[in-house]
């Protein structure tokens, strides 16, 4: 496995990218990973390596601006930040990396961003969402409120400092203050109806931030081949707590497309 890192220049700053390339690539289209609201490239840990190995396919992950090893952002994201990833930021990253056809995998809000990316770009061959939000439930609000309280405690705040350094306060606020904004309460993943490529929607039965109504909505709205996979006794991090099951589901899904 060849693992490389690089920085690419966007209009708004430098973005950190990490790429896992198997020695033998059986499938040319890479998978691009989109992290969650508190996430970063390094917080995927071994998952990209396991995914690249399992699928014999290149895996690419990047830190969004404001996160991980990418440049900081001064302002909090707008209420349209999910849509903006597909319209503004990802097209620049795709162009800089010279990508043509690709698959996209997003965790949590990264899954919602993946849907937006595919809705704009027909070179996206398929989508895998893990614990993606499709709208804002009471469970979403209560889960974020609880997490906001937890991260006010220094010992929990410091756990994120390991990944985000002096950007940590911004990372937390970018999640909690946007999602808890009353004006964001009506947000919905309406672009799901524009999806024509295959979709695999994975979701933990006991997700702390959203019910199985989220993946059900994604699958029902999609106009292409769509597969719903509910993982029993599983919370918001299926790729960490049920890694083998998730890898197998993704492998089966992609093989069925061949």
Identify the pLDDT of residue 258: 67
Identify the pLDDT of residue 78: 98
Identify the pLDDT of residue 183: 98
Write out the residue range of the structural domain in which residue 72 sits.
2-257
Identify the pLDDT of residue 257: 82
Identify the pLDDT of residue 50: 98
- Spatial contact of 191 and 218, defined as CB atoms under 8 Å apart: no
| CATH number of the domain to which 65 belongs | 3.40.50.1820
DSSP 69-95: TSPP-SSPPPTTHHHHIIIIIHHHHHH
User: Cα(21)–Cα(215) distance, rounded to whole angstroms?
Assistant: 30
Identify the pLDDT of residue 256: 87
User: Cα(43)–Cα(38) distance, rounded to whole angstroms?
Assistant: 9
Identify the pLDDT of residue 173: 98
The pTM (predicted TM-score) of the whole model is 0.97
User: Cα(236)–Cα(17) distance, rounded to whole angstroms?
Assistant: 24
3-state secondary structure of 21: strand
- Strands ordered across the beta sheet of 13-21: 2-10, 13-21, 57-62, 27-34, 102-107, 124-130, 199-204, 226-231
Q: How does pLDDT run across 211-241, given as a tens digit for each residue? A: 999 999 999 999 999 999 999 999 999 999 9
CA atoms within 13 A on the CB side of 210: 25
Identify the pLDDT of residue 104: 99
Number of domains in the chain: 1
Per residue of the chain (258 residues), give pLDDT as tens: 999 999 999 999 999 999 999 998 877 899 999 999 999 999 999 999 999 999 999 999 999 999 999 999 999 999 999 999 999 999 999 999 999 999 999 999 999 999 999 999 999 999 999 999 999 999 999 999 999 999 999 999 999 999 999 999 999 999 999 999 999 999 999 999 999 999 999 999 999 999 999 999 999 999 999 999 999 999 999 999 999 999 999 999 999 886
- 46, 54, 112, 120, 139 from 86: Cα distances, Å: 26, 27, 10, 7, 26
Q: How does pLDDT run across 131-147, given as a tens digit for each residue? A: 999 999 999 999 999 99
CB atoms within 10 A of CB 166: 8
């Amino acid at each position: 496995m060849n693992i490389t890192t690089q920085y690419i220049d966007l209009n708004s700053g430098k973005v950190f990218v990490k790429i896992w390339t198997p020695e033998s690539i059986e499938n040319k289209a890479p998978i691009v990973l989109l992290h969650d609201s508190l996430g970063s490239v390094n917080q995927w840990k071994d998952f990209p390596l396991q995914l690249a190995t399992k699928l014999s396919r290149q895996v690419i992950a990047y830190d969004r601006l404001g996160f991980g090893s990418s440049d900081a952002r001064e302002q909090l994201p707008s209420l349209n930040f999910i849509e903006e990833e597909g319209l503004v930021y990802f097209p620049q990253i795709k162009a800089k990396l010279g990508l043509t056809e690709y698959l996209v995998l997003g965790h949590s809000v990264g899954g919602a961003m993946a849907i937006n990316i595919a809705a704009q770009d027909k070179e996206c061959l398929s989508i895998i969402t893990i614990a993606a939000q499709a709208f804002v439930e009471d469970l979403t609000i209560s889960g974020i409120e609880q997490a906001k309280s937890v991260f006010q405690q220094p010992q929990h705040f410091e756990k994120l400092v390991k990944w985000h350094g002096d950007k940590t306060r911004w990372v937390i606020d970018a999640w909690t203050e946007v999602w808890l904004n009353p004006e964001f309460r009506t947000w919905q993943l309406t672009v799901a109806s524009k999806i024509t490529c295959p979709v695999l929607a994975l979701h933990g039965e006991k997700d702390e931030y959203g019910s199985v109504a989220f993946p059900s909505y994604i699958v029902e709205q999609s106009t292409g081949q769509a597969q719903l996979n509910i993982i029993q006794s599983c919370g918001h991090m299926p790729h960490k707590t049920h890694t083998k099951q998730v890898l197998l589901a993704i492998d089966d899904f992609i093989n069925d497309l061949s």
